Amino acid sequence: MASMARFRSQAPDSGWITFLAHLLFVLAAWSVFIKYVFPITFALFTGEAWHANIFWDLWPIAHVWLGWALLTQPWYTRWLAVSMSVIEIAIILTLFTLFLAEPDWTLWRTNWFVNKVFVLSAFALILATVVVRPELFRTRSSS
């Protein structure tokens, strides 16, 4: 907790950055629910294999890490925000292109699609913030 206070005191005071961090925490929780909790619960109640409708990935962990970095502002925050945003946006746009070429609007794919729309929006906001307000992100030189 002391290290959190140390980072926090050096972080730029920005309600917008705090909002983005909490948006990432909410998206991570929502993603865990949509990708794991809901499909497993559904499968248990319908007699399907528990893993039948899970979209496996570890992105929620990465989203929590970036949210934490936005709040605590370690020296690599700007680099992490840019790289994670560019990677997420590229992956999601590629997946949308493939999906929309032959859409499959089942319950599971619709949940996936809606989740990705919100994740794409969040990372577009983060990337735009890095470009427009770079002073809100610490770098090695500002530590």
The 10s digit of each residue's pLDDT in 58-110 is: 999 999 999 999 999 999 999 999 999 999 999 999 999 999 999 999 999 99
Q: What is the pTM of this model?
A: 0.86
Give the Cα-Cα-Cα angle 117, 121, 126 (nearest 5 degrees). 150
CA distances from 94 to 56, 61, 73 (A): 17, 21, 30
Query: Hey, CA dihedral for 9, 10, 12, 17, is it positive or negative?
Result: negative
Q: How confident is the model at residue 4 (pLDDT cuts 50, 70, 90)?
A: low
Model confidence at 142: pLDDT above 80? no
Please, which residues have CB within 8 angstroms of residue 14's CB and are 6 or more apart in sequence? 136
The secondary structure of 3-29 as a DSSP string is HHHHHHHHS---HHHHHHHHHHHHHHH
Instruction: Report, as an integer, the average pLDDT of 107-128.
Output: 96
Q: How confident is the model at residue 12 (pLDDT cuts 50, 70, 90)?
A: low
